[in-house]
Amino acid sequence: MPLYGSATPITHSTGRPSTVWSAETLTLPANSRSLAIYLKRQANMPNCLSVEIQFSGSPGAFSIDLETADTDAEAFYVMKSTISALGAGNVARLEVANIVAKFARLKMNSRTNAVAVTANFF
């Protein structure tokens, strides 16, 4: 995936996967932000979002922020939630209800072990 800022945001429909990191070993902090997604709203669908993050091995201690904005520019993104716990199989997950922002992205703040990461919005 290209670094954030070098690509147009992905148009995202609820329930369909949008890959923002694809088996990438990120260099922190230089390329710690994912591609942004544009949250396309659909009639009769809830305004929700889920994120699934899979590491290729144990990341050790890690912290990833979900950032949202109504304007797709660096200064407008703010932290919505932080992900720092793993489930089985080195997978982390976050679900957000009642999200009204137009754009979302991930920002990896820290990771102890340099393992590859794949992240999808649903």
pLDDT band at 2 (very low <50, low <70, confident <90, very high): very low
Read off the pLDDT of residues 7-30 as tens digits, 9 standing for 90 and up.
788 899 877 899 999 999 998 877
The answer to the question of residue 40 being in a domain is: yes
The answer to whether residue 4 sits within a structural domain is: no
Listed in sequence order, the residues at least 6 apart from 96 whose beta carbon sits closer than 8 Å to its beta carbon are: 48, 49, 50, 51, 66, 80, 81
Assign 1 a pLDDT band (cuts: 50, 70, 90): very low
* 5 falls within a domain: no
For 29, the domain range is 10-121
pTM of the model: 0.89
Q: Assess whether pLDDT exceeds 60 at residue 44.
A: yes
For position 59, which CATH number holds?
Answer: 2.60.120
Q: Could you tell me if residue 55 is inside a domain? A: yes
Specify if 79 maps to a domain: yes
Kindly state the tokens that stand for 100. Answer: 């009204």
> Is pLDDT of 41 > 90?
no
Classify residue 92: in a domain, yes or no: yes
DSSP 62-109: EEEEEEEESS-SGGG-EEEEEE----GGGEEEEEE-S---SEEEEEEE
> Which of helix, strand or coil describes residue 1?
coil
Domain total in the chain: 1
pLDDT tens-digit map of 67-90: 999 999 999 999 999 999 999 899
Residue 5 binned pLDDT confidence (cut-offs 50, 70, 90): low
What is the percentage of the chain residues whose pLDDT exceeds 90? 70
Count Cα atoms within 13 angstroms, Cβ side, for 61: 1
Give CA–CA dist 34/37, Å, rounded. 9
Does residue 1 lie in a domain region?
no
- Look at residue 30 in the predicted model and tell me its pLDDT: 74
Tell me if 94 is assigned to some domain: yes
